[in-house]
Amino acid sequence: MENNQTRKDWLTLDNAAKIYPATSAKRSPAFFRITVTLKEPVKLWKLQEALARIMPRFPYFQVFLHQGLFWYYLQKHQDIPDIKLLRHIGKSDLLIRSRTSHLISVSVRGKIIAVDISHILTDGNGGIRFLASLTAEYLRLNGIKIDKHDNILTPDQRPDPDEFLDAHRFFFKSGIPKPPNLARAFHLKENQSPENDFRIITGKADVEKILILCRNKGVSITDYLASVYIHSLTVIYQNYVRNGMKPDSSLIRLEIPVDMRKFYPARTMRNFSLYVSPEIDLILGNYGFSDILKKVHHSMKIQVDDKELSRHISRNVAAELNPFIRIIPLFMKNLYLSRLYLRLGEKIYSGVLSNLGLIILPEQMAAEIDSFNVLFLPNQIMKKSCCVISYNENIHINIGSTIRNRDFERCFFTKLVEDGIPVLVEEEQ
């Protein structure tokens, strides 16, 4: 990284972010929401002060999207975002192509602080650290002393140049073979709801009960929930067949993000996630849940490996460095990237499951917080998405949907209950 990075007023998009300006739309807006619920109602004016203090600490987030001749890039925004009233996730204020619009939005309702973040800026790791830092600064302004913590950045710190790093490009190695191409996967057939009618169903459970269950089975929480996801899609697939509806594929495959900071010494606050793809092929025969769990567990063990994941970095960055692609005008790149995303992103996955893991905070801060949550909108092809986050004793499992049919959610949470995990299920209004 250049030592003067923190003084620049513009920034190139990282390798993972380049796909989003070309593919983002109202129906697939490519942003996620992370929320924190405090134990006391939020004072809006004090949160606005906290945001004004903390935002300059994240200069790579205080930007808007600018369109160049060959590439998009991020231009420094002079203003601090205004805090708004929290709206339904399908009606976010993020307008990525507006030169006056931030790519991050903070909103409030009652005890809830919500941050909507475009994937152009960062992944779940960056989003969690931003929200934790904002919340810590708000609590400090309310007279609460907060100890130093890795997840919390403070206004008195200078941004580390490594936080700006395009880690995909930095850790790219030439000559590594690309991952194999994947065939089209099974998708739900139902028609979508009216425009922007996104629905979120949340299941809240005791994280310790799930941990005990997973330990007894010798799998991780992500292994288990991915298997429940695939099992639920299998039930729907079989219903289609019984009702004479021909599925578009016999392959059920999930897209599961992996935080690459676990494998590389990267302190970047920008995107640094890749994906693994556990799958089953129902043309081979019926799969019971134990069969699915075994296959998912071993598939994840093989794929969640720095050597295997480096193949994805190689493919993605090599395409960006291709001299022919570099000189193509932006409008042609947009057409190419949108078709590439359809072929390599939406069509080859049946669904997406993102587990942000356990949120750990200083004791003084944890005493003021009731819960965290994360929401992600599914795209037009997959129609469903699942986001998971754990805090204190609870795990929140959020299923987003662009269709009215609730068979998938019913199968998913019923399986948890059958396995001895009581779940409180609510739908966001």
* Residue 267 and residue 165 in contact, taking contact as beta carbons nearer than 8 Å: yes
* Residue 386 and residue 353 in contact, taking contact as beta carbons nearer than 8 Å: yes
What string of pLDDT tens digits covers the 429 residues of the chain?
A: 344 555 568 899 998 888 888 776 655 568 899 999 999 999 999 999 999 999 999 999 999 988 877 778 899 998 999 999 998 776 666 666 566 688 999 999 999 999 999 999 999 999 999 999 999 999 999 999 998 888 899 999 999 999 999 999 999 988 899 888 899 999 999 877 665 578 899 999 999 999 999 999 999 999 999 999 999 999 999 999 999 999 999 999 999 999 999 999 999 999 999 999 999 999 999 999 999 999 999 999 999 999 999 999 988 888 777 777 777 777 677 776 766 666 666 789 999 999 999 999 999 999 999 999 999 888 888 899 999 999 999 999 999 998 889 999 999 999 999 999 999 999 875
Give the domains, in start order, of the chain with CATH numbers. 5-170 (3.30.559.10), 199-358+376-427 (3.30.559.30)
pLDDT of residue 3: 44
* Residue 344 and residue 311 in contact, taking contact as beta carbons nearer than 8 Å: no
Q: What is the DSSP letter of 56?
A: G
Cα distance from N-terminal residue to C-terminal residue, the chain: 45
**H helical segments located in 1-141:** 20-23, 44-54, 124-141
CA 36 to chain centre: 16
Helix, strand, coil proportions of the chain in percent (round to 5)?
40, 25, 40
Q: Residue 270: which residues within 8 A CB-CB, separation 6 or more?
A: 14, 17, 60, 121, 122, 123, 126, 163, 164, 165, 166, 167
Q: Which residues of 98-124 are buried (b: 16+ CB within 10 A; e: fewer)?
A: eeebbbbbbbbeeebbbbbbbbbbbbb
Q: Does the pTM exceed 0.85?
A: yes
pLDDT of residue 295: 98
Name the residue with tokens 């993605």.
Answer: 316
pLDDT of residue 22: 76
pLDDT tens per residue, range 334-351: 776 766 666 666 789 999
The tokens for 130 are 């931003």
